[in-house]
C-alpha cells in the first residue's frame, strides 16, 4: 500500500481489518480475521504486508468476506498531560489534529472474485482423510 507523503505530517496511523471465510487445504470450512494497526513516521509513504499475513498457508479457496483500511494523517504531538507543548505565548498546551481516508472492499467470490487457488474436490478430500486415518491405524 502506498500513499503520497504530505509536508507537516507528524505520523501516519494505518489500521487494517480483514474478515473472510474459506476452505482450508483439507476441505474444512474456516474463518480468518485480522485486526492490526501501525504508527508510522510522517516520512513514510508505504507499507508492505507479507502475503502469509493476509492469506495463511492453509487457505485454499476464499469464499467471501470484507476488508477495511483506514489511513489517519496526524500532525502535532500525542503528549497527553504535560507542562510543555507546542503553543507559544500566554498559556500552556499543545495542538494536535487528525484526518483520514478509508476504503472498504469485498473479498472472495461474492465480491472481487475467487482466489487463485481452487477448492479441492470432495473425493480428493475424502481420499486424503482415509489415507491419513489408515496410516494412523497401521502405525499403532
* Each residue's pLDDT tens digit, 3-33: 888 888 888 999 999 999 999 888 899 999 9
Structural domain that includes position 22: 11-138
Mean pLDDT of the chain: 78
- pLDDT exceeds cutoff 70 at 72: yes
Task: Kindly state whether residue 37 falls inside one of the protein's structural domains.
Answer: yes
**Assigned C-alpha cell, 135:** 496410516
Are residues 87 and 49 in contact, defined by beta-carbon separation less than 8 angstroms? no
Indicate whether 76 belongs to any domain.
Answer: yes
For residues 108 and 33, the model is more confident at 33
**pLDDT above 50 for 42:** yes
Sign for the CA dihedral angle at 124, 125, 126, 128 comes to positive
Q: Is residue 102 situated within a structural domain? A: yes
The total domain count for the chain is: 1
Asked if residue 46 lies in contact with residue 3, where contact means CB atoms within 8 angstroms, the answer is yes
- Asked whether residue 5 is assigned to any structural domain, the reply reads no
Sheet with 11-24, edge to edge strand ranges: 29-41, 11-24, 59-75, 97-108
Q: What is the 3-state secondary structure (H, E, C) of the chain?
A: CECCCCCCCCEEEEEEEEEEEEEECCCCEEEEEEEEEEEEECCCCECCCCHHHHCCCCEEEEEEEEEEEEEEEEECCCCCCCCCCCCCCCCCCCCCEEEEEEEEEEEECCCCCCCCCCCCCHHHHHHHHHHHHHHHHHCC
Q: Is residue 2 part of a domain?
A: no
Query: Is residue 1 domain-resident?
Result: no
Q: Out of 75-79, 80-84, 136-140, pick the least confident.
A: 80-84
- Mean pLDDT over 74-83 rounds to 66
Residue 6 lies in a domain: no
pLDDT confidence of residue 114: 44
Amino acid at each position: 500500500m502506498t500513499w503520497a507523503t504530505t509536508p507537516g505530517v507528524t505520523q501516519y496511523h494505518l489500521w487494517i481489518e480483514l474478515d473472510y471465510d474459506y476452505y482450508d487445504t483439507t476441505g474444512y470450512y474456516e474463518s480468518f480475521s485480522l485486526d492490526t494497526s501501525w504508527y508510522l513516521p510522517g516520512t513514510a509513504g508505504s507499507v508492505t504486508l507479507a502475503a502469509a499475513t493476509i492469506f495463511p498457508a492453509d487457505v485454499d479457496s476464499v469464499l467471501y468476506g470484507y476488508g477495511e483500511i483506514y489511513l489517519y494523517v496526524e500532525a502535532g504531538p500525542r503528549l497527553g498531560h504535560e507542562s510543555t507543548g507546542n503553543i507559544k505565548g500566554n498559556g500552556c498546551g499543545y495542538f494536535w489534529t487528525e484526518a483520514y481516508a478509508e476504503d472498504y472492499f469485498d473479498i472472495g467470490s461474492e465480491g472481487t472474485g475467487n482466489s487463485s487457488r481452487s477448492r479441492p474436490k470432495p473425493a480428493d478430500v475424502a481420499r486424503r482423510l482415509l489415507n491419513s486415518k489408515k496410516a494412523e491405524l497401521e502405525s499403532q
